[in-house]
Chain A
């Protein structure tokens, strides 16, 4: 158990390319942090720097009260779950779980005990003597987590561990990871590009863009008060409508903003609403429908209950206090 502190961490590759810059995060003991961002935003690089698989070009990383910049991955007291699981194909599940303990000269009885415990927690007992290739995707995923928990490390690092699973299994495993972490209370850093995964798992989210932090906060904080247009468009599904103020010049209190954000669920049909939208397309989701349209040359999406066929034009009103205002040039939030 330990806290993890990143202080002005940066990564510059040999060619001079900067992958990560000026990242500072304080992760409390037992906290579940999710690094989320589009591909190429540096989230995996950041995780690998914490793991010790990439060198740290700038800043310091602390695990507990120890600076680990120059410490080998093995000695950082962390365990990592890889995207492709990285199970040793020539070893049985039992050997896979025991390998890290064996290398650390843990007594045989202790290894057996911990492997049995992990197998119990993850329900992989029946597969202990199988080779990884004889397991399904979900089972492999569990073994990969088992390999992390037998070590009882100070921190778990997850590198997109669910992205190789099908959609249904992903939802199940997501919940399992969350429950496991709640139970073990081990500090965790989890990398994903899936904003839904990020929202559901995180105690706190770190939204990254182009190697820099856009916003840190709890999922609800980030959802309710996105710090920039990037975060606003990245977190939440369907994405927040971001429209130029000039498309809706008559909305009160928006004179100083460049961009106005309205979540699709904050809009509703109202005969005297201030926004008129031309309906372009409708996506039926069952209970709900997404209505895509345009107003003043800007695209707009509205979530509404399914029902009657829609007219060509709709008048919309927004829930009071639900507008997000952003600066024109920087895209930062205006409070």
Chain B
């Protein structure tokens, strides 16, 4: 690594200052506030604040709504991750097999990533709108009565599709890069060793892709748990009957709509711990365990 030596002690701090300021103002300070608030209870008008210890956390542990939200989040995260990674791998394999116009397809397939989550949500909300949407019309033809406003499973399907669709591009890019780093001679050697295309894929390509796959697994879980707020807010708002109320949406809803700051803060502290855990997993294992 290249080291630069500063003669002046002040200059390096000055150079770091903007980034440190942003980190402090927009991350460390609010995080500290959240932690502080999670131990407090505030009345509805924000006048009286009392220290209540861990009772906000205890209340969550005893709240069926919160436990439901945990379960919904787990199901949602697994579905989004499996769906977006599965489709991305399929597309990446298809593009990797192409000889010409690879870059054109790659560029086209990356576009959804540029769409803001809320816009993606609205897009799919229109497509699946029970009154004016095109998908309910087609589903009606095959005899399925789509209504994500009243059906829990329809609502879940909608948010999963909208969230997964956005993430496919990102996963696709990593998978294409991963596939292209698998030497052609390995696949050729396997072909001579009597492995057919399917076998080659599972015996050679998949194991060699595993570092990419594991990295994406963590990134996608984080995405599904945190970055899908816009999608949920634009489509189902957590409904119907809490069916799509994932943890991050519940934090917002309980805090800003329900005005229960203490509980909301406690929930965000739990989310923070989950992110920290995922990050630790990422750093500890992505290099060591999965590498061949």
Residues of chain A at the chain B interface (Cβ within 8 Å): 51-53, 72-74, 78-80, 82-84, 86, 88-90, 99-100, 103-104, 131, 133, 147, 151
| A90 proximity list for chain B (CB < 8 A) | 207-208, 292
| A73 proximity list for chain B (CB < 8 A) | 188, 191-192
Residues of chain B at the chain A interface (Cβ within 8 Å): 183, 185-186, 188-196, 199, 203-204, 207-208, 292
Contact of A86 among B188, B196, B208 (CB under 8 A): B188
| A79 proximity list for chain B (CB < 8 A) | 192
- A-B pair number, CB within 8 angstroms: 60
B208 touches A89 (CB 8 A): yes
For residue B290, give the distance in angstroms from its CB to the closest CB of chain A: 10
For residue B120, give the distance in angstroms from its CB to the closest CB of chain A: 37
A80 touches B192 (CB 8 A): yes
CB-based nearest B residue for A100 = B193
| B292 proximity list for chain A (CB < 8 A) | 89-90, 131, 133
A100 to B191, CA, bound (A): 9
Contact of B193 among A53, A84, A99, A131 (CB under 8 A): A99
Given contacts A83-B185, A104-B194, 4 further A-B contacts (CB under 8 A): A51-B192, A74-B191, A99-B203, A103-B195
A74 to B189, CA, bound (A): 9
A86 touches B189 (CB 8 A): yes
A103 and B199 contact, Cβ closer than 8 Å, known pairs A84-B183, A90-B292, A131-B292: yes
A74 touches B208 (CB 8 A): no
CB-based nearest A residue for B100 = A14
B189 touches A80 (CB 8 A): yes
A103 and B188 contact, Cβ closer than 8 Å, known pairs A88-B204, A89-B208, A89-B292: no
A86 touches B194 (CB 8 A): no
| B208 proximity list for chain A (CB < 8 A) | 89-90
B186 touches A88 (CB 8 A): yes
A74 touches B207 (CB 8 A): no
| A131 proximity list for chain B (CB < 8 A) | 292
A100 touches B192 (CB 8 A): yes
A74 and B188 contact, Cβ closer than 8 Å, known pairs A84-B183, A89-B292, A131-B292: no
B194 touches A100 (CB 8 A): yes
A83 to B183, CA, bound (A): 12
B188 touches A99 (CB 8 A): no
A103 touches B185 (CB 8 A): no
| A151 proximity list for chain B (CB < 8 A) | 193
A151 to B194, CA, bound (A): 11
A-B contact pairs, 21 of them (CB 8 A): A52-B192, A53-B192, A74-B194, A74-B195, A80-B188, A80-B189, A82-B185, A83-B185, A84-B183, A86-B185, A86-B186, A86-B189, A88-B186, A88-B190, A88-B204, A89-B208, A90-B292, A99-B193, A99-B195, A103-B195, A131-B292
A194 to B194, CA, bound (A): 31
A53 touches B194 (CB 8 A): no
A84 and B185 contact, Cβ closer than 8 Å, known pairs A89-B208, A90-B207: yes
CB-based nearest A residue for B204 = A88
B190 touches A99 (CB 8 A): yes
| Chain A to chain B: the 10 pairs with minimum beta-carbon distance, closest first | A100-B193, A103-B194, A90-B292, A86-B185, A86-B189, A74-B194, A90-B207, A73-B192, A82-B185, A73-B191
For residue B196, give the distance in angstroms from its CB to the closest CB of chain A: 8
